[in-house]
Amino acid sequence: MIKVGISGCDGLNAAELVRILINHPDVELMWVCSASHPNGRLDGIVPGIAGECDLRVSPEGKLDDVDVLFLCGSHDAVKGQMHPDAWREDLKVIDLSGAHNLDHGDGKPWVYGLGEMQRRILVHEARWVTIPGTAAIASLLSLMPLARNQLLNSPLTLHVQAGAMVFPGGMTVDGLAPEAYAREQQQEVCYVLEQCQPGFGQPVSLTVSPDAERRTLTVESRFKSDMSLPMLISLYEQYYEDHNFVFLMDRPITAADVENTNKFLIGIEKDEATGEVTVHGMMDALLKGSAGTAVHTMNLMFGLFERVGLALKATGY
């Protein structure tokens, strides 16, 4: 069994992480820490788990008791939680805060935790992993087949409509104001595209609009391409054919297709007159956009089948 600790169980993404892990067949949840609820019952701060988990929230957890540590919460909170020098050599760390998503030049061996981008590295080499930002996950999954084939050769316009991300006071799940969040996600997308397509230098515009009524996140990626629509569809199908959570759709995607699942669904359109391509993507912002991707990453790091614990039920309405 993989022994797990969660530090910073104070937000929606951490609650989803708990709900996945208490039902994961290869995980034993050892402790959960929360700054705002340091001594309460876990089922008092995570809805829906009454009768399934009798853990109490701890003010701090013992690293010697766990094999993997999930870091949740805001950028600043995570950076102040623990110092890497205190981590055991064999301790695996998965950061959901976004604090380590870009190369800050500090020499720390953080690996970018997008399985559809670098599955082999996560399986064989990763010790500390940073989970991509929610908008970055959707944007990159909608562009990855092109970037990996050196085919992103025009300006990109990305519009993200994000549900389940805005708290009272206007802050996102990442602890940022929406404008700062959009700028950070744009920087992250550009940084990763440059890793996937060396020499990529096209201008990228990313905007984020909140959607308070949904927990889904949608992205529209627009760019120009000389490839025909059938060729684009074939390229995406080939890239994702051996991945377990990304699928192409030949009909409009609805929220019911993705809510409460770890899926990212894609639809592709092309205006043959202008050459403009639009890639539509949709996912559950808290699952595929955060906690589900973190568990997917953990599965890869420990040599488990990718879908273990992530065969989640859609809403179906």
Q: What is the CATH number of the domain that holds 122?
A: 3.40.50.720
Given this model, what pLDDT does residue 88 score?
81
Given this model, what pLDDT does residue 60 score?
81
Same domain, 140 and 276: yes
Answer yes or no: are the C-beta atoms of 175 and 77 closer than 8 Å: yes
Mean pLDDT to the nearest integer, 164-191: 73
Residue 311 belongs to some domain of the structure? no
Same domain, 206 and 100: no
pLDDT higher than threshold 60 for residue 65: yes
Same domain, 270 and 194: yes
Same domain, 178 and 193: yes
Same domain, 143 and 106: no
Same domain, 123 and 68: yes
Residue 40 belongs to some domain of the structure? yes
- What CA–CA distance (Å, rounded) separates 190 from 140? 9
Q: How many domains does the chain have?
A: 2
Choose the weakest-confidence range: 36-45, 111-120, 169-178: 169-178
Q: Which of 12, 2, 16, 63 is closest to 287 using CA atoms?
A: 16
pLDDT higher than threshold 80 for residue 265: yes
Residue 313 belongs to some domain of the structure? no
Residue 315 belongs to some domain of the structure? no
Residue 6 belongs to some domain of the structure? yes
Residue 45 belongs to some domain of the structure? yes
Answer yes or no: are the C-beta atoms of 174 and 221 closer than 8 Å: no
Same domain, 87 and 188: no
Same domain, 154 and 39: no
Given this model, what pLDDT does residue 169 score?
53
Same domain, 142 and 164: yes
Helices 115-124 and 134-148 sit at what angle, rounded to 10 degrees? 90
Mean pLDDT to the nearest integer, 95-101: 87
Measured in residues, the chain has a length of 317
Give me the domain span that covers residue 109. 2-132+289-301
Q: What is the CATH number of the domain that holds 172?
A: 3.30.360.10
Q: What is the pLDDT of residues 142-176, one digit of tens each?
A: 999 999 999 999 999 999 988 755 544 555 655 56
Cα separations in angstroms, 155 against 78, 102, 140, 158, 242: 34, 22, 15, 10, 29
What single letter denotes the amino acid at residue 218?
A: T
Same domain, 49 and 76: yes
| Mean residue pLDDT across the chain | 89
Given this model, what pLDDT does residue 313 score?
82
What single letter denotes the amino acid at residue 265?
A: L
- What CA–CA distance (Å, rounded) separates 202 from 287? 30
Residue 306 belongs to some domain of the structure? no
Q: What is the pLDDT of residues 204-256, one digit of tens each?
A: 999 998 876 678 999 999 999 999 999 999 999 999 999 999 999 999 999 99
